Every structure is written in structure tokens, then in C-alpha cells.
Structure 1
Amino acid sequence: MPKLTERAVANAKPREKVYRLSDGDGLLLEVRPAGGRAWLFRFMLAGRRRDMGLGAYPAVGLKEARQKAKTAAAEVEKGIDPITHRDTAERAEAARKAERDERQARTFRGVAERLVEAQKPGWTSGKTLASWRLTLDKHAYPVIGDVPIGEITRDHVVEALTPVWTAQPATARKLQRRIASVLDYAAALGWRSTDNPATGRVLRLTKALPKQPPEQRQPSLPWQRVPAFLRVVEGMEGTAPLALRFAVLTAVRSAEVRHARWPELDFHTLTWTIPAQRMKGGKAKAMPPHRVPLTDAMLTVLAAAAVHVTGKIEGPDKLASQAALKGDALVFPSPSGLALSDAALGACIRRMNEDAPKGGPLPWQDVDGRGATPHGFRRSFRSWVDDTRPAEGEAAEKALAHEDENSVRAAYRGSDMLEQRRPLMAAWSEFCVPPAKGAEVVPIRGQR
């Protein structure tokens, strides 16, 4: 009859040496000096005594230990060594698991995850990883995630792309390129042929998908209306309107403005230096920092933003001397102290458009009637250059931090044309924020 109880097992105290408590039928509880307890099954087979481990207590309780001992005893009765039998079964299960893991590794999902991990160290922006995750998780994995990578055909690719191909063309193009990258990666690993059914060329030649609608550009306010727009924004409270004003005046991307920090701003040389890792594309190793010349209008915005750090109102000419601005604080923090969200600047424009009469045109819209967006002001700036000073188009491209499409030419042209851009950005600022009539325009000391 069993001798142990749940209470006796739980209360077994350690001693100076290892000792064992018997439950009968070969089941033993071994109690160790350090306090550990483990189950053993003692049996005789072919004239030899052996002890078989059944697991540690309390992970294996008394009831489970008795069942394991009973199963092992039945094998001994048949002349089977339960230790060898268990080891053989464990090896077989390990082999089956390895096979399952190998099959999973060679599915589209497995290869895609491996590719993401391989590329992740080179992505300097978390947005790139998030974008890959979103497109794969939402559109690719539900359709082809479990398909063996070597069996993916054009039909699989079309099935994944079809739901978004015409409804969300920009998303569809990203998804297509990423599926193609995964298949190319699998081919490089030797897991499929080099034929890639997801490339744009294959899809176009086979006409596997319908023609996409023309890509719509970001809605941009006509440049002639920018001064009136900024006058309204100037009357709004909070850091988001300040960031929006600064983005319009500098013509840089909103993310670069939202994450701007005070040490990046040099008020002696009147230059804002944006680190390469914050620039679009995540090519920090190949790109230099982007420099932006600061104008009087920009400095006025920064002086207003400095109040959130210093707690006192100072003129733009005092920015260089304010010690509090030398810390690593954000220039345009959210109320929580973190960087403004991607939607914060756009929300300012939406609030400005809320006063539009129902069914009537929006006060701040592009020529197609779509509400203006923060990114669209980069186009407003470029259109202003084209219409008013077309000879400065190259400087405007540098201001927008656009990469030269000609890679050979780009490799030999190292200047960012900073000094040529100073008068261009000053003219843009004076257009956007005209001086009051009759007011004398006095450049801030130190400005070139």
C-alpha cells in the first residue's frame, strides 16, 4: 500500500545528507540537503537494479508520480527497459519537432521573419520595422504565411495583393515589393528557384492584376495661400501649432520637426543640423546630416517654443544665451513630454477646416478640394520656387533633402549648398510671414 501523502511530501524537510521516502511499488521521493525533491522509480531488470528519474517535485505531484511509476512497472513486466524506451521516445519526438521547425522555417512566414531579423540592424528608424510588420501581418501572413516558400506561385502573390491593389495602391506596392524581397531571400538561401513571381515586371507582363488608379500626391495648399494660413496658425495655442509653423517655414518633413532637439540648433551659425538617422529612408550610414539655415521667422517660432523649457518669454536674439536650451530636450514636446505624434500637426489643420459650412469647400484645401496636410507644404514650397525663382530649383531640392536620382552624379556632388540656400529660405520666410507694413526689417544679430 502507498505510504506517502500529499502533506507528507510537501512537508519533507532536508537533512544533512540525501535521504529517500518510499511510497511503495518502487516509487521513492529523494530529498536533498539543499531542499530539492525529486521522484525516482527503482526497478530490477535482468538481475540489475536501476533508478529512473520521474521529475522534480512540485512540478510532478504525488498522483502523477504514481502514474508514471505504474507505467514504468508495466514495461518492466514485459521485459522492456523503461529508461531506454523513454530516451528513444524523446529522441523521436525531438526529431519530429526539428522536422516541424524546419518546415515552419521554410514557410513564407518563417523566411519573412528571418529576413526581417537580418535587415533590422540596418534600419535606423523604428517606423520601417513597424511598416514591414503591418503589411506582412495584415496582408501577407493570413493568405500565404503557412505556404512552403518553394511552392509559392504567382496565384498566391495575386491572392495576397488583390484586396488592397486598387483600394490602397500605396500599401499594395509596398506589400508587392516586400513579398518579392522575401522570395529573393529564399532563392539566395537555396530554398526556391530564382524565378520570382512577385516582381513588378512579372505581374505587369502577365497582367495578373488590374491597372491601379493614378497615385495621388499629398494634398498641398496653393503657395499663394500660405501666408494667410500661417496667420491663422499663429493664433493657435500649444506646441503642435508651433511645430506646424516651423515645418512650413523649413520645408522639412514633419517627423524631423517633431523629433527636433535643442542641441541640434546652433544660434551662432544660425543652422539646424538634423542627424542622418532621422532622415527619410533609414540610410544613416550613407547620408550626411541635413543642414537647415535658420531665418528670422524660424527663430521667432523657436523663441516661442523655448518658453516651454525656460518658463520665461525672451526674444529670438536671446536664444543663444539661454543655458536651459543646451540640454537634450525636445523643441516641440507633447503635453506628456514625449515627441508629438504623427497626427498632431494634421489635427491642427483639421481643426482649422472644421468651420467650413456643411457641404461647402474647406477653407484650407488643395486644388482638388482635399484638406491640406503638413507634408503637402513641402510641395507648396517647391511650387513657389518653380513659379517665382525657377533658377533656384537645385537649391530647393537640397532644401527638401531629395536624393539625386542619378546615382553617379550624386556620388560626385558633395555640397549641400547651405550658403546658397540661406537667401532662398530667407525669401520663403519673408513671403510666408511678411513684415508688418511700415515696420523696419532688422536681421537678428549673427545671421548671415
Structure 2
Amino acid sequence: MRARNRLSPAFLRKAPMGKYCDGAGLWLIVRNDGGAQWVLRVTVHGRRREMGLGGYPEIGLAKAREIADRWRAMAKDGRDPIKEREREIRAARREDISLAIITADAFEARKAELKGDGTAGRWLSPLTLHVLPKLGKVPVTDLDQRDIRDTLAPIWHTKADTARKALNRLSIVLRHAAALGLDVDLQATDKAKALLGKSRHKPKNIPAMDWRDVPGFYANLEEPTLTHLALRLLILTGVRSGPLRNLRIEQIEGDVWTVPAEAMKGRKGATDDFRVPLSAEAQRVIDLARPHARNGYLFPNTRGGVISDMTLSRHMERKGLEARPHGFRTSLRTWLAEATDAPHEVAEAMLAHVVDGGVVRAYRRTDYLEQRAKLAERWADHVTGGAGQVVKLAGAAK
């Protein structure tokens, strides 16, 4: 048996920087800043484990030996002392495994997967608004399907999409808790969904303007204001409001606008930037907007950020229109279907939709930019008062 109790209190009070063994795996590590830390090294199932026992002199020599004896005995029984200590800490501080705490931990682990590292808060908002106020303090190990059902029942039929997202996020949080070694019911969300039943909510599509009516609306956007210019470019490019409102001047090069991959929505599995062909009319609109640019943004607001989505929506609302800005994507897609012979994959690419699996995309190295550029010019011709005649693409299927 290895010698034990090698160190003395007198030596520790004057110990210089270095590592000092008291025996049986107990070490004192003295740092160059004068601080010191007790460390215990044990072997469990043939694997060496090293655990900190606390600082010196807060924990004296006698206390360090006492603590070490306890963990050594546990290791001798074949139990990992580090995992056992973690279990004890969780048991002593149950608030550390509350749903709110585990949710925050799960969010941190997923931030890299979210657009802008989740700064917009959209991943968390269904939970922070509808779940955590009621269940945030509940230990995640106590959470069951009845808790979840009772919490989501008030919005299950009235805010079905939000409720569905909350259920999805809860499932992710529970899986995260299980990965932490907590005893949770991974089927709780599925059971809650069964208890809630089928939602009566019928999703409504965002109102869209008929593509034949778009030229008339576009003609009324004659003032060189940010709102008018932003709506014009939104119509011409078919992009979503977010990338357009956050458009930066350096993203534009000639007749191509390159939207960063992290700014795109609805392109799960796609990691490339998205190139938007700019028609001559779109380039003219951009040139008209350039004098308004501030801090690199083409459509800034007065507070240092960018114009809001509501600014564009309210303009259409004030005009007495049912259609909303996002609906112009539908207008464009319907025009592509009814007034052009664009192949399906090209038409979908106009709206940045991902239509193929990862393997297909890996082999198909094209974004149909040239074909989309021709369609963009024809769409601009229609929008600005052209005839909107059927467009023929060279090489398109008959």
C-alpha cells in the first residue's frame, strides 16, 4: 500500500509553486499566483478520474484527507465519484434541474444551429411566453404529460402553430435533460399531444395579391421613400422581408445580390449563400435607395436599425388592401406557374425554396442563376406595366 499522510500543515503554509502528493492519490497543486487546489486521483473500472476537492487553505489538510477517504471508498465500490457528486449536488439543489434552467442550457447548446445564434429569440419565445411562466420552476424530472396538456390547452386550438412549436421545443429540452443523465419521461410530449387531441385550428395563408393586380399597386409606389422603395424591391426580387430589410450595400455586386446563408429562412439543409438576380428595374430601385443608406444598411430606420416588417404591412393596410408584403412571393410563384414555362426546380429556386435532399444538392451544383435572371427581367417587365406574356425559356421541357 502506498504511503499516506506525507504532507504536514507546516510545509503547506510555505509550499512553493508545484505539485505535492499526500499519498493514495491526494495531491495539492500550488499555482504561481499563490493559490492552491486539492485534487484527488482515483481509478474506476480501469479509467483514471481526477476530481477537485476545493481550495487550500479554505479546506485544510485534515479536511482534505477526510473528503478524499469518502470518495476513495466510493471508487473502491465501483462507483464514479465525480458522477456521484454531481447527483448529490442536483439532489441538494433541485432548482438547478428546473425546467427553466434546463431550457436555458438546451438553448445554449443549440445556439450555433439557429439563425444569428438565436438572438431574435424565436426559438425560445413559444416556451418563454406560454410554458415557462407556469412550469418554469417545476423540476424537469417531475414534468409529465398532464402538466404539459394543462399548460398548452388554452392555446391548442387558438394558436395552434405556437402550441406546436412549444411542444417541439419541450421535446428537445427533455432530450437534453436525458443527455445530462436526468430521469425524465421522453414520451411526455407525445402523450400530451394525445391528450390534447386534434387541433380545430385551420391555418390561414398570408393574403396575396393576384399577379395581374401587382402592376397597378407597383405604379402607386412612385415616391422615393424608404417604404415605397423597399416594397418595390420586395416585389421585384421575391425575397422574404427579413433579408430585404437587412440588406447591406456590400451584399450587392453588379446585377447580383448575395444574401448570407444565415439570413435565409426555410432552407433547412442548405448552407450556401443565396444569389438573387437583379433586374434592371431592381438595380434602379437600389440606386434610388442608396442616398438613404446608413451604417451600411440600404433601408435604415431613425434609431440605427432597419425598417420594420410592420412598416411595410401598415402601408398596405392603410391602402385598404387585404394582401400583405409576404404575399408577393405567392404572386410571383403563381405568375411563374401561369404565365411562364419555367421548370419546377427553377421556379422554386426563384423563391429560394429547397426542393431536393442533401445528396441531390451535393451533385447538382447550380442555382439556375442565368435562367432566374431572365425570369426576373420578365417579371419586372410585367410589374412595370408590360404585357406579362408567356415566357419561354431556352431548353425548357415542352
TM-score (normalizing by structure 2) = 0.70
Residue 360 of structure 2 corresponds to residue 409 of structure 1: yes
In the aligned structure 1, how far is the partner of 2:316 from the partner of 2:256? 28
Q: Which residue of 1 aligns with 2:212?
A: 224
8 Å CA contact 1:184, 1:196 repeated in 2: no
Q: In structure 1, what is the Cα distance between the partners aligned to 2:265 and 2:312? A: 18
Structure 2 distance, partners of 1:118, 1:301, is 42
| 2:327 is equivalent to residue 340 of structure 1 | no
Q: 1:195 to 1:99 in 2, by over 3 A?
A: closer
C-alpha change, 1:146 and 1:336, in structure 2 (3 Å) is: closer
Q: Distance in 1 between matches of 2:131 and 2:304?
A: 36
Match in the other structure for 1:293: 277
Specify which of 300, 303, 309 is matched with residue 287 of structure 2: 303
**Equivalent residues of 1:250, 1:292 under 8 A apart:** yes
Whole-angstrom distance in 1 between the partners of 2:309 and 2:91: 42
Q: C-alpha displacement at 1:265, in angstroms?
A: 0.9
CA 1:282–1:124 in 2, change beyond 3 Å: closer, same or farther?
A: farther
CA contact (8 A) 1:162 1:209 kept: no
**Does the Cα contact within 8 Å between 1:158 and 1:209 map onto a contact in 2?**
no
Q: Kindly provide the CA deviation profile for residues 144-196 of structure 1, in whole angstroms up to 9, marking residues without a partner as x.
A: 21222122111111112111111111211111111111111112222125632
Hey, what does 1:264 align to over in structure 2?
A: 251
- Please identify runs of 4+ aligned residues in structure 1 that moved more than 6 A: none
Alignment of 1:291-440 (within 5 A): 291-309=275-293, 329-353=296-320, 364=321, 371-404=322-355, 406-434=357-385
Identify if the C-alpha distance between structure 1 residues 189 and 143 changes in structure 2 by more than 3 Å, giving closer, same or farther: same
Distance 1:308 1:410, change over 3 A: same
Structure-to-structure mapping, 1:59-208, within 5 angstroms: 102-125=93-116, 129-193=120-184, 195-199=186-190, 202-203=191-192, 206-208=194-196
Report the Cα offset of residue 435 of structure 1.
5.4
Q: Distance in 2 between matches of 1:195 and 1:226?
A: 49
Q: Which residue of 1 aligns with 2:8?
A: none
Secondary structure class of the residue paired with 1:272: strand
Q: Structure 1 residues 297 and 191 mapped into 2: Cα distance closer, same or farther (>3 Å)?
A: same
Identity of paired residues, percent?
31
The separation in 2 between residues aligned to 1:164 and 1:158, in whole angstroms, is 10
Structure 1: 5+ residue stretches without partners: 1-86, 88-94, 310-326, 354-363, 365-370, 437-448
SS at match of 1:221: coil
Partner letter of residue 293 of structure 1?
P
CA contact (8 A) 1:385 1:392 kept: no
* Number of corresponding residues: 304
2: distance between equivalents of 1:174 and 1:128?
17
| Paired residues of 1:243 and 1:332 also in contact (CA < 8 A) | yes
Map Cα deviations across residues 98-129 of structure 1 (whole Å, 9 max, x no partner): 56773112121111111012122333326665
Gap runs ≥5 in structure 2: 1-62, 64-85, 388-398
Cα separation, partners in 2 of 1:391 and 1:342, compared to 1, 3 Å: closer
Amino acid at match of 1:276: A
Moved more, 340-349 or 188-197: 188-197
Q: Distance in 2 between matches of 1:286 and 1:235?
A: 37
CA distance in 2 between counterparts of 1:407 and 1:122 reads 17
Deviations 1:239-284 (A, max 9, x none): 02211110111000111111111111112xx11111112112697x
Residues of 1 paired with 2:307 and 2:118: CA distance?
15
Give the aligned partner of residue 32 of structure 1. Answer: none
SS of match in other structure, 2:123: helix
Determine whether 1:279 maps to 2:246.
no
- Is 1:251 the equivalent of 2:238? yes
Residue deviations 1:289-311 (CA, integer Å, cap 9, x gap): 110111111012112112335xx
**Cα distance in 1 between the residues matched to 2:188 and 2:238:** 40
Change beyond 3 A, Cα 1:237–1:131: same
For 1:164, give the aligned amino acid.
I
2:295, 2:304 within 8 Å by CA — same for their partners in 1? Answer: no
SS of the counterpart of 2:298? Answer: coil
Matched residue of 2:324: which SS?
Answer: coil
Q: Residues 203-254 of structure 1, C-alpha deviation per residue, up to 9 Å, x if partnerless?
A: 55x353342322111111111111111111x234520221111011100011
Q: CA–CA distance in 2 between the matches of 1:419 and 1:102? A: 61
Q: Name the aligned partner's letter for residue 272 of structure 1.
A: W
Matched AA of 1:416: D
Distance 1:282 1:409 in 2: 15
Structure 1 residues 394 and 167, CA gap change in structure 2 (3 angstroms): same
Q: Hey, what does 1:442 align to over in structure 2? A: none
Of structures 1 and 2, the larger Rg is shown by 1
Secondary structure at the counterpart of residue 273 of structure 1: strand
Aligned partners of 1:150 and 1:192 also within 8 Å: yes
Contact 1:262 1:328 in 2 (8 A): no
CA distance in 1, matches of 2:376, 2:361: 23
- Give the whole-Å Cα distance in 2 for the aligned partners of 1:98 and 1:127: 30
Please tell me whether the aligned partners of residues 123 and 282 of structure 1 are also in contact (alpha carbons under 8 angstroms): no
